[in-house]
A and B are shown apart, each in its own frame.
Chain A
């Protein structure tokens, strides 16, 4: 029997019990629909994250004080006092892969302007920092290298700080208090929005690192160095020379742990990929559970159908249907059922993710791969769970099937 005929036969058999067919498909519809919707949401989030990573500069290399594992305990920046501006200068001087670097240390402080109060992080750095992070000012200017040398009381603020402290006032040239010291506001940075972890990147104040070291934190070391390599490949290639240079400068004996950590944009991308593959596995798990449940529904209905149609099977066999013909007929019916469920699920999933995008303002990105996977998996479910009932039908004895009441 030719395929088109078998397919038409399947459609007709399914149309005969519309309600039953619809309910049987429901499992697959829900499974596929949910997966499509969740994947589009996940892809949307992923897209935002990637945008964020791009925004950080793909050539960036971060060197943070502290060790990944010092005696089994993770130590924060505060614990290690070995990373200095001299280290930074040595890196710039000795490692040509690195073209720019900026020191950084951070301190949380109470900040005041007029009767407005706020608690935020003050980061001490150099004007380079804003280049490395590709972060220009939207108004005013960044403090100068001379001001860094002088440890001047000047700062650049993020839009969140500007809004909270200054409201509708223009902050440029105004004096605000950081801790107990007056600081002149030189510029307001462009808004960066939230970072990958959902933190507000505009709730920041930057000042010369010298000022922060001497007048606010009272320390001589740094918490991290933000550097930028000549290219993305160079950022990865620079990790090893930086490591050996810093180990040498910090006199770390062979076998001991580093007292610093180096992260490149590539590492962050790796981390991101890991998170994504975990996410994918999770989604895959949900998808397979729902598809298996849908498949069991199909198997159940197909078994009922085979029993109900025993006589029909007997007649078909009597007039010349081979085992293969009968098996094919029921298999195609099961696959039609599961593929129709898959198709409806895809449509509902797409509509659902569009609704989410519009109503909840969540970014969604419709994934072609997920749609293809949904088609493949729903077909597979039909084949796998349709096989047993179809095989059972094919194995019927024609005489007994004809005699079946």
Chain B
């Protein structure tokens, strides 16, 4: 995943608006109408993003490699 960008998405039907992701990766997630959204869809790799995705109580945050499409979080 050296050069590869990460693609962020939130499954809005699963999201409960807990804000865990916003707290853990404030630059990358924001709450809109009580649901989380990625601030930007494509971002550079950053540990805090994986933390957010793995801590989301609903497993609603997805991180994928932008070229490989490989799911980096949550673990499958």
Say if A and B assemble together: no
Chain A interfacial positions (CB closer than 8 Å to B): none
